[in-house]
Structure formats: C-alpha cells, structure tokens
Amino acid sequence: MNRRVTIGACILIGSAVVVVIVFWHRMGERKAELQVVRAAWERTLMDARAIEELRSQSERVSLRARPTQDVIARIHAALAECGIPPDRFAELRNDSDTSLPSTADGNTHYRIQSLALSLRGLTVADLGGFLDSWSRANPSWTITRITLAHARKSQDPGDDKFDISVILSALYVGD
C-alpha cells in the first residue's frame, strides 16, 4: 500500500507540476505577444503622427511623372494670376527624363522630369510675376533654366519684349 500511495502521490505531484507549467508557459506566450503588440501600437502611433505631419506639408516629389496637360493647366493658372494673357503661352514639351542614383536605403529610385516651357512677348516684369506666381503655387517644380531672347524693342527699355524659354524640373519616384 505504501508503494502504491507513494507512486500515486508522485503521479499526482508530477501531473500538478506539468499542468502548472503548461499554464505558466501559455501565460508567458501571451506576455511575449502582448509586448509585440504594444511595440506595434507604439510604432503605429509614431507612424500616425508622422503621417499627419507629412500631410501638413506640401508635396515635394510626385509618385509618377506629371502629365503635360496638368502642367499646362497650372501654367495657365499662374499666367492668369499675374494678369498675363493666355496667348503668351507658346508651347510645353518634354525636355528630359533622367534617373538619379538610388537612395541610401536602396528602396527608392528618383527621377527628374524636365519640361521646356515657351512664352512669347513678355516683359522682364511679366516674367518676374509669372516666376513668382509659379513658384508659390508649385513648390515641387523647380525652374532650372531661364532663357530670354530679345523679341521687340520699345521706347522704354523696361517694355522690351522677350521670348522666354523656361525649363521646369521636378523629382518623381521611379519604378
């Protein structure tokens, strides 16, 4: 009887210990999972704040090359804002599309889209107004080259007209 009782007691103790260990292990797994989820929650909060902050900023780089029609509409808006007749707009054509080296993380490939804008018969003051209006409304576009060619002389040198070519460049995220 003694032996049976001893064996029974050992089995009981062993079973109890195993059950407690199983429950303890399950709790440990949940603890680890909670830590992971909490870390994800903190990361989500940080990311949410970053998104809100980034949304408050204007777009500096587009996700793809801008369509020419969109840029023409923006040009007309800038011309209208500084009182230049729309017929001064001559043409907008693609100038170049070049690739930049990959970023440090290697995940983003940037490209530079350049468009050549031709305007006819503008004074230097008109040009200044247009450039100011354009730059304020379109911060993602940079004017990288300005060429003025004399078109018509006036009595007042300030009223001399120029044919103007402007290179508009913008970064976009390549594939």
Partner 1 sequence: MTHAESTHQVLRWPANRFYWAIVEERNLRTHVRIGAASYLAEPIFPVPLEQLQVTAAPLDDGRVLVCGLDKSSLESVDRATVVALYPEQPPPMIEGVGNAAIGRLNMLRGCYLPRTIRTARFHLILIGAIALVAVATLLCTGLSNRTSHLMDQIARSRERIAETQRTVLGHSNNRHDQPPELRFTAELRRLQQTRSVPPIALADATATLQLLLACWPENLHTTTELMSITATSITVRFEIPSAELSALEESLQNLDGWQRQQPEITNRGDLAMIAIRFVLAQVEKDS
Binding site for partner 1 (CB under 8 A): 1-2, 5, 8-9, 12-13, 16-17, 19-20, 23-24, 26-27, 30-31, 33-34, 37-38, 40-41, 44-45, 47-48, 50-52, 54-55, 57-63, 100, 103, 108, 110, 112, 124, 128, 131, 135, 142-150, 153, 157, 160, 162, 167, 169-171, 173
Nearer Cβ to partner 1 (67/87): 67
Residue for token pair 């909670």:
34
Report the amino acid identity of residue 76: H
Contact indicator for 171, 60 with CB cutoff of 8 Å: yes
Q: How far apart are the first and last CA of the chain?
A: 81
3-state secondary structure 27-52: HHHHHHHHHHHHHHHHHHHHHHHHHH
Least distance in Å: CB of 140 to partner 1?
Answer: 8
Least distance in Å: CB of 116 to partner 1?
Answer: 13
